[in-house]
Amino acid sequence: MGVCLRRWLALAAVAAILAAVALTWHARRAEVVELRVGHLLADELHQPGWCVAEELGYIEEEGFKAVHFEYAHGPEEMLHFAAGELDVAYVGAVPFLRARAKGVDIVAVASSNTEGSALVVSAEIKSVKDLDGKRIGTPGIGTIQNYMLNVVEEKWGVKLERRHYKVTELIKLFEKGEIDGYIAWEPHASRAVYMGIRGAHILLTSRDLLPGHQCCVVAVRGDWIRERPDLVLRIVRWHVKAMKWVNEHPEEAEKVIARYSGLDIELIKMAHRIVKHPYPPYLHLESMKIMLRGLIEAGDLTPEEVGDLDEFLREAVDQSFIEQAVRGLQLELRWLMR
C-alpha cells in the first residue's frame, strides 16, 4: 500500500470518528430539555447570565426551554433546590455553601459575579478613621460582608459597633438614624446614595477590602454532573456566552438588567461600577474558604459538616465545564471566520 493511500485512509478514519462524535453531539443537543432555573428577586445585576441568555436566545440555542423561578433570598432558593424543584440556581455563594454542607446535592459550575458590595455611610463620616465607635449594619454574622468589616477594623485600627439585620431593612434603619452606615451587596448600598438619604456616600467597596471575592454562583444538580455532563456543558455554554456579551456590551447589558429587575436604569449604572462579571467566569475559591470559616464561626455550620476546606471545595465546585465551553466557543468562532 502506497504512502499516499495509507495517509488518505488514516485521514478518512479520523474524519469518520469526528463525524460520529459530531452526530452524537448534535443528537444530544437536539433533545429539547425543560430547564427549571432559579434566581433572586431584583438581583439581575449580580445574576445577569440568565436574563441575558434568555433575552438573546442563548438558552434556546443550547436546546433548553427555561422555566424561571424567583426567590426573595438565597436560603429560600436552596430549600426549593433541595426539594428537587430546580435544576439550575443563580444564588449567593454563602447560601450555596451552607446548602452543600447540609447535604444538598448541588455543585457550583461557574461564577455569576464577583465583588459587588460597598460600605455606605452618612455625610458626617468623612474617612475610615471616623468609623471608630460607629453603628454599622450588616446582612448577618456569617456573610462575606460581615467578614469585610473585620478587614476594616484590622487595617485601619477602628472598632465598630455591628448591628445585624436583613439586607432589605438596612436602608430603612439608616434613614431613621438607628445606624450610621451599613455594608451590603449592590444595589442596596448605592440605593441610599441614589435616594440622597442623610448625605449618603460610598466610603469603601469590596474591591478595597477583599479584591475579587466571590459573590453569586451558578450551581446545578449534582446528579447531572455525574450522569448528564452533556446537559451541564450546555448550561455553562449559554452562561459563558451571556457573560462574554455582558462584558463586551456593558451599556446594553444595563438596559436588559434594568428591564428584568424593574430597577431604575440610573441606579443600575451607579451600582454596576462596583459589581464585577469576570470572563471567563471562574470561581474565586480563596474567598469561598473565608465564607466557610465565617459560617462555622457564626454557628451556621459545624466543623464536622465542612471538614477539610480544600477537600470540601473540590467536591462542591467543578470548573472544568468553563474551560470546555470557552474552548468550544472559540473553535466555533474560528470556523465561522474561515
Alpha carbons 92 and 78: distance in angstroms, whole number: 10
Domain boundary, last residue among 162, 184, 209: 209
223 plus 330 within the same structural domain: yes
Q: How many CA atoms lie within 13 A of 73 on its CB side?
A: 9
320, part of any domain: yes
At 14, the pLDDT band (50, 70, 90 cuts) reads very low
Tell me the pTM: 0.87
Tell which residue, 147, 118, 329, 120, has the closest CA to residue 242.
329
Residue 22 has pLDDT above 90, yes or no: no
Residue 153 CB partners (closer than 8 Å, separation 6+):
159, 160
For the chain, how many structural domains are there in total? 2
Alpha carbons 258 and 48: distance in angstroms, whole number: 10
At residue 102, φ and ψ (nearest 5 deg) are: -85, 5
At 194, which helix (H) or strand (E)? helix 188-195
Percent of the chain surpassing pLDDT 70: 89
Residue 184 has pLDDT above 80, yes or no: yes
pLDDT digits 0-9 by tens, 100-131 = 999 999 999 999 999 999 999 999 999 999 99
Report residue 255 as a C-alpha cell: 438596559
Whether the Cβ atoms of residue 101 and residue 312 lie closer than 8 Å to each other: yes
Domain boundary, last residue among 187, 209, 231: 209
18, part of any domain: no
Q: Rounded to 5, what percent of the chain is helix, strand, coil?
A: 55, 20, 25
175 plus 320 within the same structural domain: no
Whether the Cβ atoms of residue 118 and residue 111 lie closer than 8 Å to each other: no
Residue owning grid cell 453569586: 216
Domain boundary, last residue among 193, 209, 225: 209
204 plus 230 within the same structural domain: no
4, part of any domain: no
Which neighbouring-strand residues pair with 275? 115
Tell which residue, 46, 126, 128, has the closest CA to residue 92.
46
- Listed range (15-19, 89-93, 233-237) with the worst mean pLDDT: 15-19
pLDDT of amino acid 248 = 98
- Listed range (208-212, 273-277, 332-336) with the worst mean pLDDT: 332-336
86 plus 224 within the same structural domain: yes
15, part of any domain: no
Tell which residue, 181, 173, 223, 222, has the closest CA to residue 201.
181
178 plus 195 within the same structural domain: yes
Residue 257 has pLDDT above 70, yes or no: yes
Average pLDDT along the chain: 92
81, part of any domain: yes
At 8, the pLDDT band (50, 70, 90 cuts) reads low
pLDDT of amino acid 298 = 86
221 plus 99 within the same structural domain: yes
Report residue 301 as a C-alpha cell: 455550620
Output the domain CATH number for residue 308.
3.40.190.10
312 plus 264 within the same structural domain: yes
20, part of any domain: no
pLDDT of amino acid 72 = 87
Tell which residue, 96, 132, 97, 92, has the closest CA to residue 116.
92
CA distances from 82 to 16, 89, 98 (A): 43, 11, 12
pLDDT of amino acid 6 = 54
Residue 250 has pLDDT above 50, yes or no: yes
124 plus 143 within the same structural domain: yes
**Average pLDDT, stretch 45-62?**
98
Range of 204's domain? 117-209
**Average pLDDT, stretch 208-216?**
96
Residue 336 has pLDDT above 80, yes or no: no
198 plus 268 within the same structural domain: no
Whether the Cβ atoms of residue 224 and residue 232 lie closer than 8 Å to each other: yes
286 plus 320 within the same structural domain: yes
107 plus 122 within the same structural domain: no
At 201, which helix (H) or strand (E)? strand 201-205
282, part of any domain: yes
**Average pLDDT, stretch 136-150?**
92
174 plus 57 within the same structural domain: no
Residue 27 has pLDDT above 50, yes or no: no
Alpha carbons 92 and 75: distance in angstroms, whole number: 9
At 165, the pLDDT band (50, 70, 90 cuts) reads very high
CA distances from 257 to 206, 243, 268 (A): 21, 13, 8
6, part of any domain: no
Percent of the chain surpassing pLDDT 90: 84
**Average pLDDT, stretch 155-168?**
96
pLDDT of amino acid 141 = 85
